[in-house]
Structure 1
């Protein structure tokens, strides 16, 4: 199934509404896989053999069939991009939490899944709602909610908060750090220093330079907005104590690095179970939070995804606008764009021409006079701003 060659996609060709999915951006394309929707009182996992691709420049969706060692349909997986590949780890399928790792090449047009079998080390225990960082070609995972055997729990010298037990199996939250090296196909656990964050799940993470950050999350009925930093060179934890008013505690939110020192937080479920639509910028050097104005205040989101786009735009896709702990029916499929930095002059001109050309006939007549590179960019961008009556 393909999008129409000109303009926005046909009305029926839009990614399905979903929450708890995986999304990454690669070369101007947003890739979306997995997640679930609510059908009556049931949670239904979405197809595992399709990947949805959104052209951020044109605003066009396409969907592609996936082959190979296809992972089971899941929600709550931890996804990231590295060297043109999307990796997913963990998640929850129809049988519960998993600890399998898969990858798919996003650049060859084949979309063939590969189940990764490690050669050294031990994989983390099954879990979902965890987070990850990417640094120097390695994938680093933190926290999550999942199960452990009594032996595994007793052998770990770290904090693990038990939620429930059944026949010698424990479910709960952890604060473990695990590293996967794709080149060596190996799992390892670093010896960290400093005070580690409390065990948690449904938190969020971001990477800047040689540091990984986590923010908020849930343990039992508690939701926080604390921020912790892990230095990947010294493996030392530190907590960022804000010098300004911080966002309220929350889970199922997103955190995106938009510069070398700035992180953008959006949405989530607050401590009083309210879906949030606020956006915040955190300067990790000055330790100052700043709430930002944006145009999506009427669109609360939780268990959505957020990816870094062009010119420090943050692309939020999907998620729920309801408290999924209670009603779980308000899944979304729109892509929200947040401008976090001033645009360069080229971007401003490109958007202005693409926006105005539909209403100014004289501008349409002058399009062929543009330099080829700019003309091509404007023509792609024009479809994003195409008037609704032109999209039919």
Structure 2
């Protein structure tokens, strides 16, 4: 029997979910002690019901890591990232309903592109994509406000300067227009932070600010463009970067993993209650699976699907890339979900009864049966020997 396809291990990739599939593109791994980008002609789809992977191809953007991705009106957009030539400000999209999965370069009709950057984040609001922060480069003449762009003293060449920013850029997908709204009370410039949105509010947590890492929390009103700092009423998680933040209800956010101030990969999970403004550490079954520079998307019933990332400090080791999909239950499951999962996980016991179910329910249970099937090809964290001739060497990642 042929093995089922599985997306390989990676870090710095882009992932987004639409309730049915988790879409994964790009990222990088290590091959023979060289950093290489994953094939840019692969878009991986992970079925949230049966846990199976499949890959599709199309006209492609360049191979990159550190891009920022989201889904708007059934179209996956990616912006920025780091390619073989350094950070970029290219914009691409792919229609997820078109089975050819053909990418296109997004050409704006008006407005100015943000400067090249990677390790940024974004929110989606009313058909608009709002990008925040990141690490990238500018010409000296483009650095007009030292409060919005902090120069990395260790990285500069002639009149080109690298650094962290706290800029907010908005892209209107319908009008194909870039704007840079004026914001107020901005957080410090940062990269490798985590973000999530609930309604008309965008949230930012932690990230790398110069040589330190933090766990501060800010909220941006996506209508008034006003920032506000959220001061925790309880002890906050340790400062970190390369972590994730996911909305799991109308009033709560889930934080997972990241790299600590002392460069230690972490596996802790936290719930932030927006009403009480308090953090609560969450018990979970993945304490032995630290992750950094992974992705996290909301699945069914407020599940959080964490995919990929690294279990080692990649700037020192860079061989600990993962391709397992971790599922975090953040809310009680509804009765229907509990019943389906119990039957699916004991399919041999209920085989005759499953065949008697109504067609729609039978199909749902059978898909979940695949998810719980013990013979499914195991996914891994580690390093595999690959044919690197297909790939492009990556440059350093801040």
**TM-score calculated relative to the size of structure 1:** 0.93
User: Could you say if the C-alpha distance between residues 389 and 136 of structure 1 is closer, same or farther in structure 2, counting changes exceeding 3 Å?
Assistant: closer
8 Å CA contact 2:3, 2:377 repeated in 1: no
Give the whole-Å Cα distance in 2 for the aligned partners of 1:27 and 1:252: 24
For the pair 1:126 / 2:116, whether they are aligned, the reply is: yes
Counterpart residue number, 2:163: 172
Q: CA deviation at 1:165?
A: 2.0
Give the whole-Å Cα distance in 2 for the aligned partners of 1:85 and 1:373: 28
Counterpart residue number, 2:372: 385
Instruction: State the 4+ residue runs in structure 1 displaced beyond 6 angstroms.
Output: none
Which digits, 9 at most, give the CA deviation of each residue in 1:103-148, with x for residues without a partner?
Answer: 0011221110010111111010000000000001000000000000
For the pair 1:370 / 2:357, whether they are aligned, the reply is: yes
Which digits, 9 at most, give the CA deviation of each residue in 1:303-343, with x for residues without a partner?
Answer: 00000111000000000000112111100000000000000
Counterpart residue number, 1:202: 192
Counterpart residue number, 2:314: 324
Give the whole-Å Cα distance in 1 for the aligned partners of 2:363 and 2:156: 60
Give the whole-Å Cα distance in 1 for the aligned partners of 2:181 and 2:359: 51
Q: CA deviation at 1:63?
A: 1.1
User: Could you say if the C-alpha distance between residues 35 and 353 of structure 1 is closer, same or farther in structure 2, counting changes exceeding 3 Å?
Assistant: same
For the pair 1:279 / 2:269, whether they are aligned, the reply is: yes
Q: CA deviation at 1:157?
A: 7.0
Counterpart residue number, 2:133: 143
* Residue ranges of structure 2 left out of the alignment (5+ in a row): 379-398
Q: Secondary structure at the match of 2:337?
A: helix
Residues 61-80 of structure 1 correspond to what in structure 2 (within 5 A)? 61-67=53-59, 70-80=60-70
Give the whole-Å Cα distance in 1 for the aligned partners of 2:177 and 2:146: 22
Which digits, 9 at most, give the CA deviation of each residue in 1:195-241, with x for residues without a partner?
Answer: 21100000010000110000000022200000000011211110010
Residues 74-89 of structure 1 correspond to what in structure 2 (within 5 A)? 74-89=64-79
Counterpart residue number, 1:29: 21
**TM-score calculated relative to the size of structure 2:** 0.92
Q: CA deviation at 1:74?
A: 0.1
8 Å CA contact 2:355, 2:362 repeated in 1: yes
Residues 1-392 of structure 1 correspond to what in structure 2 (within 5 A)? 10-11=2-3, 13-67=5-59, 70-154=60-144, 156=145, 158-163=147-152, 164-193=155-184, 195-358=185-348, 360=349, 363-388=350-375
Give the whole-Å Cα distance in 2 for the aligned partners of 1:211 and 1:55: 29
* Residue ranges of structure 1 left out of the alignment (5+ in a row): 5-9
Q: Secondary structure at the match of 2:361?
A: helix
8 Å CA contact 2:132, 2:168 repeated in 1: yes
Which digits, 9 at most, give the CA deviation of each residue in 1:44-94, with x for residues without a partner?
Answer: 001111111111111111111122xx2100000001111111100000000
Equivalent residue pairs, number: 376
